[in-house]
């Protein structure tokens, strides 16, 4: 997709990675060997002055080249470095795919050109108390409702993620993710995308765009319920999406517990002989399985007998209506998890997938609840020959996102 010929910058979706790389390699502004501080101190100085009289398309194109140059330079990769150093730098950046990275570059370039178009002296590497407001102003323009003369794009989460990447480079990849003012240095530290102002704005924007009021809440309850049961029961993603209302039974002797009975599992294709008992958790209500099941009941139609058969986790349409005969799918849960992690500001969101709940549940039972390995193996459905897999889960904090489908299929 090439840039439009009418002089306007391409949209956030119109990204031509191949053309972009060619432009970048031919550009005099490509700073291949510069280090981080040199980029920040020298590259921006002439940036605003050269673009005072530029039109929007020129402004965007220059910003795009500048962003890629900065990200490349701050990574420390240069032609003169050793093969081992280049490989290490590539691995450090491999937490996001090249396609995602190119998309982020385009969003950051739009961000810079947006503010440069308003104020040619605006510095994209300046960090101040106004930076969170700069971020929300840009997201408002791109993602605000069309009826209020904004562009109405559905890219608020990816925009925040892209700007998180940008400011992590601007701040020198400092360890602190929080946004705070350092009294000793008299400087703002951390990531402005994690500020309370931006977080409150993102929540408000989501509520504003969900005109029905129920759609966003209902969908969020369904997916959080799926997340929670996958984590507590250490389920594979196909086991999660195949759960049915019929698999849930009230405990006959305990009003604060319920039973989960699965018909089959990977290690028990001929039938599962035992059930899982989940208790209410009054100590930590956010991970209470009884409470989340009650929330599910509130969004399902209690007057409809058919609502109490069929898929446990159901799709919710844009109007907030529950589609009782359509279960959520593994791909829906995967995309939702990625968006949820990005909306929370996690730069490492790409490392996690639906299988992370199985791994994380294993780690939680072992490290926090001090379960014996035999208990974990029985609860999670690992046989003796799969013991190595369980130990790998205990050792690694993150999923290898490139092999998630293989894990789901083989383990």
346 pLDDT band, cuts 50/70/90, is: confident
Instruction: Average the pLDDT over 350-376 and give the result.
Output: 89
The verdict on 298 and 195 lying in the same domain is: no
Domain edge (last residue) among 180, 209, 238: 209
Q: Which residue has the higher pLDDT, 293 or 82?
A: 293
Residue 165 is assigned to a structural domain of this protein: yes
The CATH number of the domain holding residue 316 is 1.10.443.10
pLDDT value of position 17: 36
- Average pLDDT of span 340-351: 80
Q: Are residues 249 and 118 in the same domain?
A: no
pLDDT per residue as tens digits for the range 119-172: 989 999 999 999 999 999 999 998 887 778 888 887 888 888 889 889 988 887
pLDDT at 176 over 50: yes
Position 161 scores a pLDDT of 85
List the single range of 42-56, 90-104, 154-168, 369-383 with lowest mean pLDDT.
42-56
Q: Give the percent of the chain with pLDDT over 70.
A: 67
Q: Are residues 230 and 183 in the same domain?
A: no
Q: Which is more confident, 277 or 65?
A: 277
Q: Is 301 among the domain residues?
A: yes
Q: What is the CA radius of gyration of the chain?
A: 25
Q: How confident is the model at residue 47 (pLDDT cuts 50, 70, 90)?
A: very low
Regarding whether 219 and 205 lie in a shared domain, the answer is no
Assigned domain for 4 exists: no
**Dist. CA 216–CA 207, nearest whole Å:** 8
pLDDT in tens, 219-275: 889 999 999 999 999 998 888 999 999 889 888 888 789 999 876 666 555 556 678
Last residue of a domain, one of 209, 244, 274: 209
Determine the straight-line distance between the first and last CA of the chain, rounded to whole angstroms: 40
Asked whether the predicted pLDDT for residue 54 surpasses 90, the reply is no
Q: Give SS3 for 111.
A: helix
**Count of other CB atoms within 10 angstroms of residue 143:** 22
Residue 387: the pLDDT is 74
- Work out the percent of the chain whose per-residue pLDDT is above 90: 21
Tokens 């998630």: give the residue. 404
Phi, psi of 321 (to 5 degrees): -85, 135
Domain membership of residue 394 (yes or no) is: yes
76: pLDDT strictly greater than 80: no
Domain end (from 187, 209, 231):
209
Q: What is the pLDDT of residue 75?
A: 53
What total of structural domains would you count in the chain? 2
Bigger pLDDT: 372 vs 50: 372
| Residues linked to residue 259 through DSSP beta bridges, in sequence order | 249, 277
Whether the per-residue pLDDT at 379 is higher than 60: the answer is yes
Q: What is the pLDDT of residue 53?
A: 40
236 and 141 inside one domain: no
252, 360 contact by CB (below 8 A): no
Same domain, 184 and 225: no
Band of residue 83 on the pLDDT scale cut at 50, 70, 90: low
Q: Taking 80 as the threshold, does the pLDDT of residue 177 lie above it?
A: no
Residues 102 and 177 in one domain: yes
**Claim to verify: residue 359 and residue 228 sit in the same structural domain:** yes
CA 275 to centroid of chain Cα atoms: 33
For 31-40, 51-60, 67-76, 224-233, which range has the lowest pLDDT when averaged over its residues? 31-40
Position with higher pLDDT, 95 vs 178: 178
Instruction: Provide the pLDDT for residue 114.
Output: 92
Domain identity same for 274 and 396: yes
Which band of pLDDT confidence, cut at 50, 70 and 90, is reported for residue 80?
very low
Contact 10, 1 (CB under 8 A): yes
Query: How far, in Å, are 127, 138, 174 from residue 179 at the CA level?
Result: 11, 19, 11
Query: What's residue 133's pLDDT?
Result: 95
Other beta carbons less than 10 A from residue 359's beta carbon: 25
Average the pLDDT over 347-367 and give the result.
87
The residue to which tokens 């589609």 are assigned: 323
pLDDT band per the 50, 70, 90 thresholds, residue 82: low
With beta carbons less than 8 A apart as the criterion, state whether 2 and 16 touch.
yes
368 in the same domain as 221: yes
Domain assignment present for 309: yes
* Angle CA 230–235–239, to nearest 5: 100
- Tell me whether residue 328 is in a domain: yes
User: Rounded mean pLDDT of 275-288?
Assistant: 90
Q: Is residue 2 part of a domain?
A: no
Residue 11 has what pLDDT?
41
Confidence of residue 41 (pLDDT cuts 50, 70, 90): very low
Instruction: Count how many Cα atoms sit within 13 Å of the Cα of residue 163 in the half-sphere of its side chain.
Output: 28
pLDDT at 243: 92
Do 192 and 45 share a structural domain? Answer: yes
Residue 380 belongs to domain spanning: 215-410
* Total residue count of the chain as it appears in this document: 411
Tell whether 177 and 254 lie within a shared domain.
no
Q: Evaluate whether residue 3 is within a structural domain.
A: no
Predicted pLDDT of residue 292: 93
d(CA 411, CA 391): 12
Q: What is the pTM of this model?
A: 0.50
- The average confidence (pLDDT) of the chain is 74
């Amino acid at each position: 997709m090439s840039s439009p010929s009418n002089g306007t910058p391409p949209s956030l979706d119109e990204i031509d990675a191949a053309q972009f790389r060619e432009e970048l390699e031919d550009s005099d502004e490509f700073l291949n060997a510069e280090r981080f501080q040199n980029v920040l101190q020298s590259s921006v100085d002439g940036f605003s002055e050269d673009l005072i009289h530029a039109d929007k398309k020129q402004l965007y194109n220059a910003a795009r080249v500048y962003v890629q140059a900065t990200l490349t330079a701050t990574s420390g990769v240069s032609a003169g470095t050793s093969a081992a150093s280049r490989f290490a730098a590539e691995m450090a950046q491999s937490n996001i795919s090249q396609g995602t990275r190119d998309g982020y570059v385009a969003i950051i370039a739009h961000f810079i050109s947006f503010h440069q178009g308003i104020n040619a002296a605006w510095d994209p590497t300046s960090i101040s108390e106004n930076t969170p407001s700069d971020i929300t102003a840009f997201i408002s323009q791109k993602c605000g409702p069309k009826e209020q003369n904004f562009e109405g794009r559905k890219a608020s989460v990816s925009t925040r993620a892209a700007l998180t990447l940008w400011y992590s480079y601007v701040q020198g990849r400092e360890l602190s993710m929080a946004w705070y003012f350092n009294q000793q240095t008299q400087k703002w530290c951390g990531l402005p995308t994690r500020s309370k102002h931006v977080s409150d704005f993102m929540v408000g924007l989501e509520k504003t765009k969900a005109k029905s009021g129920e759609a966003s809440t209902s969908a969020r309850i369904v997916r959080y319920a799926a997340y929670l049961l996958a984590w507590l029961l250490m389920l594979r993603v196909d086991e999660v999406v195949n759960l049915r209302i019929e698999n849930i039974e009230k405990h006959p002797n305990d009003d604060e517990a319920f039973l989960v009975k699965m018909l089959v599992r990977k290690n028990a294709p001929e039938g599962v002989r035992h059930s899982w008992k989940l208790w209410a958790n009054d100590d930590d209500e956010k991970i209470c399985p009884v409470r989340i099941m009650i929330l599910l009941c509130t969004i399902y139609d209690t007057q409809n007998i058919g609502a109490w058969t069929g898929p446990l986790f159901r799709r919710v349409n844009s109007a907030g209506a529950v589609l009782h005969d359509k279960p959520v799918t593994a791909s829906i849960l995967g995309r939702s998890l990625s968006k949820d992690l990005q909306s929370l500001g996690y730069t490492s969101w790409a490392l996690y997938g639906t299988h992370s709940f199985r791994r994380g549940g294993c780690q939680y039972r072992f490290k926090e609840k001090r379960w014996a390995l035999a208990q974990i193996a029985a609860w999670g459905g690992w046989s003796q020959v799969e013991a190595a897999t369980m130990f790998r889960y205990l050792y690694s904090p993150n999923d290898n996102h490139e092999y998630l489908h293989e894990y789901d299929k083989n383990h």
